[in-house]
Amino acid sequence: MVGWVARRSLVTGERVRPGDVLLGLPSTGLHTNGYTLARKVLFKDMGLHPRDPFPGLKRTVGEVLLTVHRSYLRPVRKLLSAVRVHGMAHITGGGLVDNVARILPPGTEAVIEKGAWRPPRVFRVIQEGGAVTEQEMFRVFNMGIGFVVAVRPAEVPKARHVISSFGMRPVMVGRIVAGSGRRVSFTD
């Protein structure tokens, strides 16, 4: 994939500051990451097959694994024209841990509040079925948050309104604090 952007429009994360709020946009499932672990747990450890019912859902294992990756282009484009976005992270390989860390300038840390949202059932089944640690789950999977933006607290209501207008329920997943630098930690 190739794209271009005017230099003045780049969102590099250099404007991320202590006090910024991290808003999460929901994912539709695994998206494009964690399939090696998901297949191991679901097919090998749990003995499921693609046509089997997914535990606790009204879809098959295959349907859950093939859920289409949500595109964030339209809501993010609108968000960029409505509020000043300090940083953006697409939650892909590396989960919230590695992807949010990439937008942090030196001297800042992100604190993610795990209790701010409930990860979709697919993640709980994988975690329990494979005895996967919570730490590994947050490093491998998006855990229900597919995209994160950092904005000032005063911009949160407008940002939430914009995101909601696309049928998504944004979640305040955390905040930026001063720290030793480029680290993501979790609280309950």
Task: Write out pLDDT tens, residues 64-81.
Answer: 999 999 999 999 999 999
pLDDT at 1 over 80: no
Overall average pLDDT of the 22-50 stretch: 96
Overall average pLDDT of the 175-181 stretch: 92
Overall average pLDDT of the 123-146 stretch: 97
pLDDT of residue 4: 76
pLDDT of residue 152: 98
CATH superfamily of 15-34+69-187: PurM-like C-terminal domain (3.90.650.10)
pLDDT of residue 8: 78
The secondary structure of 141-154, three-state, reads CCCCEEEEEEECHH
pLDDT tens, position by position, 3-12: 777 787 788 7
CA distance 183 to 176: 10
Residues 6+ apart with CB under 8 A from 113: 172, 173, 174, 186, 187, 188
pLDDT tens, position by position, 81-131: 999 999 999 999 899 999 999 999 999 999 999 999 999 999 999 999 999
- Locate the domains of the chain by residue range: 15-34+69-187
Reported pTM:
0.93
